[in-house]
Amino acid sequence: MKLKMSFTFFTKKTLETNKMKNPDALKLMVKEKYAAIANQDKEQNAASCCGATACCEGVDYSIFSESYTQIQGYQSEADLGLGCGLPTEFAQIKPGDTVIDLGSGAGNDCFVARALTGDTGKVIGIDMTEAMISKAKANAVKLGFTNVSFRLGDIEAMPVSANKADVVISNCVLNLVPDKNKAFSEIYRVLKPGGHLSVSDVVIKGQLPKAIQDAAEMYAGCVSGAIQLEEYLVIMKTAGLTNIRLQKEKAVVVPDDILLKYLNDSELKAFKSSGTGIFSITVYAEKAGATCGCGCC
């Protein structure tokens, strides 16, 4: 029996490590995790495995989330508690704007954005999880919104034409994308000249312990998929984005009982004294506007 249990544990850890190195397997794992969340009702999400406020094999998906309850356009049924900020609060969305939300989930940020664009604007949500798209579409129909749509697609290859969006937003999703260079290149492509983004995400300062880096569950919980803040900003700049600036930064405290699922007591102590930090940020950037071509602009 001990041999069987050890083999099972080894196999599981090996599979998780392999998933972390395989982008396609990683995307599948994230899709399965968030499909499980989408397919539960709000009450189940609040009290059961993989819910918005519950731990699933050690990860609390609500650690990073912030309250939307006082935000105009907020729809509680579309809020699964999976964000790490309030990107719409800083996104400078104007009436009539076209807004694209990356990793739109059940539609929460899209509906908040719609309150800012008004009836003359347009909001497009993109998500790679079929169950989330279905949930978001049902919410839009229930609310009677005809200028909010949802598209199944990959952030690394968006189902959107170039120069489409005045504003791109995203809430705690880009850290889950394996190829962040492609993701930000795609954001640059779909932004109109002069358009801008405001995204909330999770980043790291310092080096995470290898056990956390290799944990597939922690990846779906937004921790080990995060990269260094400096690298994050360099990727944005490399994609062609300009006027990059942090709008908000907040340290995230992961409870010891979660970290102890991956670290022993001595490793936890070393981690907490290492100066390594997990942060939720909201960052702004622009796509430079078109020039007139006469050399005088």
| pLDDT class of 53 with cuts at 50, 70, 90 | very low
Percent of the chain past pLDDT 90, that is, above it, reads: 47
If DSSP codes are grouped into helix, strand and coil, which group holds residue 133? helix
Q: Is the pLDDT of residue 173 over 60?
A: yes
More confident residue, 104 or 274: 104
Q: Is the pLDDT of residue 19 over 90?
A: no
pLDDT in tens, 68-81: 667 777 776 777 76
pLDDT in tens, 212-264: 766 645 544 555 577 889 999 999 999 999 999 999 998 877 778 878 888 89
Q: Is the pLDDT of residue 62 over 60?
A: no
Q: Are 256 and 60 in contact (CB under 8 A)?
A: no
The arithmetic mean of pLDDT across residues 99-110, rounded, is 94
Write out the E strands in 128-222.
148-152, 165-171, 191-205
Residue from 161, 180, 150, 162 nearest 78 by CA: 150
Domain ranges of the chain: 2-286
Question: How far apart are the C-alpha atoms of 149 and 163, rounded to whole Å?
Answer: 18
Question: How far apart are the C-alpha atoms of 274 and 269, rounded to whole Å?
Answer: 9
pLDDT in tens, 27-36: 777 777 777 7
What CATH number is given for 2-286 in this structure? 3.40.50.150
Question: How far apart are the C-alpha atoms of 224 and 252, rounded to whole Å?
Answer: 13
Write out the E strands in 38-172.
55-56, 59-60, 98-102, 122-127, 148-152, 165-171
Question: How far apart are the C-alpha atoms of 29 and 56, rounded to whole Å?
Answer: 14
What was the pLDDT predicted at 233?
97
